[in-house]
Structure 1
Amino acid sequence: MIFIILSFAIAPMIYNQSEFNLRCEWGPQGVAELAPISDVVVIVDVLSFSTCVEIATNNGAIIFPYAYKDESAIDYAKSVQAELASQRQRWTTTGYSLSPKSVIQISAGTKLVLPSPNGSFLTLHTGTTPTLAGCLRNCQAVAQFAQKYGDKIAVIPAGERWKEDGSLRPAFEDLIGAGAILSYLNGSLSPEAEVAAATFQAFRQDLLGYLKKCSSGKELIEKGFELDVELSAVFNISNCVPLFKDNAYANVSSTNLSLP
């Protein structure tokens, strides 16, 4: 009986990478394992939640993540007095959605609820741990800001979900995005984090080319969203740091470089 109790106490420590400062793990279970023991969490959903958040908050918008694309999102948007992002539409010329191109011209001060089963869902499960949204566009700025919180940093590639059963599909673009952020961080890398950083270095010379050829990129291009892939592949051009606070992401880099 004593052995059984000890084994249950020790087992969770196997997966939380606690002996390393810089950690990396996929999806919801990655958040569950790493967030409670980290100083800060970075959510990486390159195609397209994190990219959409970066572009929108860089323009001064305020983004409310919401996990579900159903009628409950309508009530939530009303409760926070925000607009509700619509479904991604190929030919739409008005309205906001999870498409990065849809928020390029979003106005400062706009409050937008952004439903997403990946990036939004993960954001809403990090608990009290400070949370940032990172992508290829703002990788260095997010990394540098993350280290203001401490040296224990969890980088979470969101991945996608298989349509058949909703299970996690590890996504190339999120591994690359996580690796880009990790490459700007100082500290001991877990093997998982080291793999992400090494993968980014291996593909960084042609990020757009590889994002267009990966499964998620091909899916978006087939649906008419090639510009979204192009916007998501732009590397390290933004100082925007979207911080999740009071149920919303806002850019803290332009107004306050110290911890909120």
Structure 2
Amino acid sequence: MRVFGQERYRARFEWGLAGAEAVAAGAAFVAVVDVLSFTTALSVAVEHGVAVLPYPWRDDSAAEAAARHGAELAVGRSVAGPDEISLSPAAIRRVAAQRSIERLVLPSPNGSAISAHLAGGRADGSDGVTVVGVSLRNAAAAAVWVRERAAGRTVAVIAAGERWPDGSLRPAVEDLWGAGAFLDGFGDRSPEAEVAVAAYRSVSDRLPEALAEAGSGRELAAIGFGDDVVIAGEVGSTDVVPVLHEGWYRRAAPTGEKR
């Protein structure tokens, strides 16, 4: 229904793939937020000069895509060896510091799946729509980069969320915070976007601690990936803005330069 599209507002916010389909219509920019862990992993990879192909699932087709593009395929976080890349930001940082990686196929059922869906439709930059990857590490820089180029046009922000065991969407508070951090400097916000900003402001002075206390952060720490939560909490640590172009996320031109 069009009533859920937030068409009256220039800064919009929604959850998941269905939310993206609802509010991205007519947007000039779409920001995808998946703090634990896709967009945090994406920011680390692009920081190291790696082009990232978002992929919905880790299956045979992902391996075929990696082979076709001469790219490395991220393996499962829990089975990755010391020299293998996974969705873990810590693993990407470690491996990328040891050897050169040009392209990475990065499967994830949430932020990556939403990005792949947008790339497969109209939001790959071919018709003026630009998709950016946003985490707490780069939310401020990404917001500046988008505002500089938006010139009053519509911006839609999509919090990826996580999944309950039955496959339904679990709204993840860390993605709400990341969306709010990005939206904080935008005017003409929808009520949904205002909620995200209010949530972010409520923890903005203690985000690393809040991440560690949140359900997703505790889950990762419990399975041995506490370092990923620490990296996700590196608030404002990078000016890298991953932009989706022809299906791949790559580092955007810095603020002040045109792409």
TM over 0.5: yes
Report if aligned partners of 2:29, 2:155 keep a CA contact under 8 Å in 1: yes
Structure-2 residue corresponding to 1:195? 195
Letter in 2 for 1:154: A
Match of 1:135 in 2: 135
Structure 1: unaligned runs, 5 residues or longer: 1-11
Instruction: Determine if the alignment matches structure 1 residue 184 to structure 2 residue 166.
Output: no
User: TM-score, length-normalised on structure 1?
Assistant: 0.90
Cα separation, 2, equivalents of 1:86 and 1:160 = 19
1:43 is matched with 32
Give me the CA root mean square deviation.
1.6
**Amino acid of the structure 2 residue aligned with 1:79:** R
Task: Work out which of the residue numbers 34, 43, 50 in structure 2 matches 1:54.
Answer: 43
> TM-score, normalization: structure 2?
0.91
Q: Which moved more, 1:55-64 or 1:120-129?
A: 120-129
List, as ranges, runs of 4+ consecutive aligned residues in structure 1 with deviation greater than 3 Å.
253-256
Taking a change above 3 Å as real, the CA distance of residues 48 and 63 of structure 1, as seen in their structure-2 partners, is same
Per the alignment, residue 125 of structure 1 pairs with 117
Any stretches of 5+ residues in structure 2 without a counterpart? 124-129
> 8 Å contact 1:90–1:224 — kept in the other structure?
no
Contact 1:242 1:252 in 2 (8 A): yes
Alignment match of 1:154 (pick from 156, 160, 171): 156
CA shift in 2, pair 1:113/1:254, >3 Å: same
Q: What percentage of aligned pairs have identical amino acids? A: 38
Matches within 5 A, 1:85-104: 85-89=74-78, 92-104=81-93
Cα deviation 1:113-172 (Å, max 9, x = unaligned): 000000111012223231000010101111122221443100111000112x21100001
- Return the letter of the residue paired with 1:49: F
Q: What is the CA distance between 1:182 and its match in structure 2?
A: 0.4
Match of 2:214 in 1: 214
Could you list the per-position Cα deviations for residues 194-235 of structure 1 after superposition, in whole angstroms to 9, with x for gaps in the alignment?
010011000111111111111111110000000100000111
Q: Distance in 1 between matches of 2:160 and 2:30?
A: 12
SS of the residue corresponding to residue 124 of structure 1 reads helix
What is the count of residue pairs matched by the alignment?
246
Structure possessing the higher radius of gyration over alpha carbons: 1
